[in-house]
Structure formats: structure tokens, C-alpha cells
Amino acid sequence: MELRGRVAVVTGASMGIGRAIGTPLARKGAHVVGVARGRPDLERFLEEARAFSPQSSVFPADVADPEAVTGLFEAIHDRYARRGRIVNVVSGAGRSPLGREGAYCASKAAITAFSESISYELEPFGVQVQVLYPGYVPGTRMAEEAARAPDLPATGRASPTDRPIAMIQDVASFLRYFGGGLPDRG
Ligand SMILES: NC(=O)c1ccc[n+]([C@@H]2O[C@H](COP(=O)([O-])OP(=O)(O)OC[C@H]3O[C@@H](n4cnc5c(N)ncnc54)[C@H](OP(=O)(O)O)[C@@H]3O)[C@@H](O)[C@H]2O)c1
């Protein structure tokens, strides 16, 4: 899949799954725009990304702040791209809820419905929307926290440690499936 010169906006790029997705995108030559709130980790990500893709950049922003998100996409639109593909990282918990994680599971199910809804809205503009449902990803803070609370699932399903559904490399390999829709530099 040719990613050279294409643009990838990765929210949460400073650590965990976002970083595991952002760095390989840069390695394949995409211009990665990394987004997170904390600058130090974001700067470390930028250094890593620019080693492969010098036009990569970072944008410190809180994605829960509507003004910040508007500013982010205006800046991205001006600098890079006009249309493309949205991939929302949801969670297996949005489809198979875990006990005692009601708010998390409900928020993940909501992202699925939201993604489907905007997919209809954005289709006329050539923007596709897709969702990814990872299980616990070993090596991330979330999986480590879950492993420290072995009774967390409370559903009889596999514990976080005995059956990871996705390894971080598996999540990064989503590129093979989704990378084709990244926009050219516009
Ligand atoms: N890890 C797993 O096992 C797993 C499994 C299934 C699904 N997921 C989902 O995958 C996503 C990423 O998980 P992760 O484990 O990689 O998380 P993580 O290691 O905690 O990383 C979260 C990233 O998002 C950024 N972030 C958090 N809140 C933000 C905000 N309001 N605005 C902008 N950036 C923000 C963080 O940086 P700052 O804090 O500096 O902003 C960081 O870069 C989450 O939606 C999670 O629910 C994770």
C-alpha cells in the first residue's frame, strides 16, 4: 500500500495505540499529524515520526474541546488535506460489554452509532468512516491496569491477561486495510 505523501491525523499519538499506529504510518512515508494534550510525549512522538517522514507535525489539543478541534482541522485543512477517511478506534467492549464497566462500554457503543451516523453524512463528500474494535492490547496502560484488577470482567469471559485479542502490532497493521483511503497532500 503506497502511503508516501499521504496525510494521517492520529489522535492520541503520544502513547499507546495511537503511537503504535502513528509511527509505522510515518515509517511508510505518510505525513503524520499527531494530536494529544501533553506536549513532552507529543514532542517525543514527533522526533520519532520525523526521523522517517520530515513533514510530519504535531498539534497539542484537547479533543473534548470543540474550539480546539475546530482549530485543529482548520490548520490541517490549510496545510494538508481536503478529504479522506476516518478510522475510529472503539473497543471490543462496545460490542461485548464487560461487567462493572458500564460507562466505558456505553461510550464505546455510542462511538459506533456516531461513526455510522456521520458515515451517511460524509459519504457525499467522499469521506469514509470505519471503526476498529481492539481487545486488550498488551503493553498499554489500560491492559496493565486491567491486569492489576483480575476480577474486572466479571462476565466469565477471558481475563485481560490470558487472552489478549489484539497485539499492538496487530493494531498497527490496520494500515494494510485502511491506508488506501488516506488523502493526498492537497
Ligand atoms: N489499550 C487497550 O487495551 C485498548 C483496547 C481496546 C480499545 N482501546 C481504546 O483505544 C484508545 C487508545 O487507548 P490507549 O490504551 O492507547 O490509551 P493511552 O495509552 O492512555 O493513550 C491515550 C492517548 O490519547 C491522548 N488523549 C487522551 N485524552 C485526550 C484528549 N482529551 N484530547 C487529546 N488527546 C487525548 C493521550 O495523550 P494526553 O493525555 O497527553 O492527551 C494519549 O496520547 C482508547 O479509545 C481506548 O478506549 C484500548
Model pLDDT for residues 52-87, shown as the tens digit of each residue? 999 999 999 999 999 999 999 899 888 886 678 898
pLDDT tens digit sequence for 109-160: 999 999 999 999 999 988 889 888 888 888 888 888 877 776 655 444 444 4
CATH architecture assigned to 1-82: 3-Layer(aba) Sandwich (3.40)
140: nearest Cα among 7, 49, 16: 16
Residue ranges of the domains in the chain?
1-82, 84-167
Per-residue model confidence (pLDDT) at position 3: 86
Give the model's confidence band at 181: pLDDT under 50 very low, under 70 low, under 90 confident, else very high. Answer: very low
For residues 5, 111, 41 and 10, what is the CA-based torsion angle, rounded to 10 degrees? 0
Compute, in angstroms, the gap from residue 33 CA to the centroid of ligand 1: 16
For residue 77, what pLDDT is reported?
A: 87
Confidence (pTM): 0.88
Per DSSP, the three-state class of 31 is strand
Ligand 1 centroid distance, CA of 13 (Å): 8
Q: Is the CB of 15 under 6 A from ligand 1?
A: yes
* Cβ atoms of 138 and 164 closer than 8 Å: yes
Is ligand 1 within 6 A of the CB of residue 16? yes
For ligand 1, the distance from its centroid to the CA atom of residue 16, given in whole angstroms, is: 7
Range of weakest confidence among 30-34, 47-51, 82-86, 91-95: 82-86
Round to whole Å and give the CA distance between 12 and 168. 14
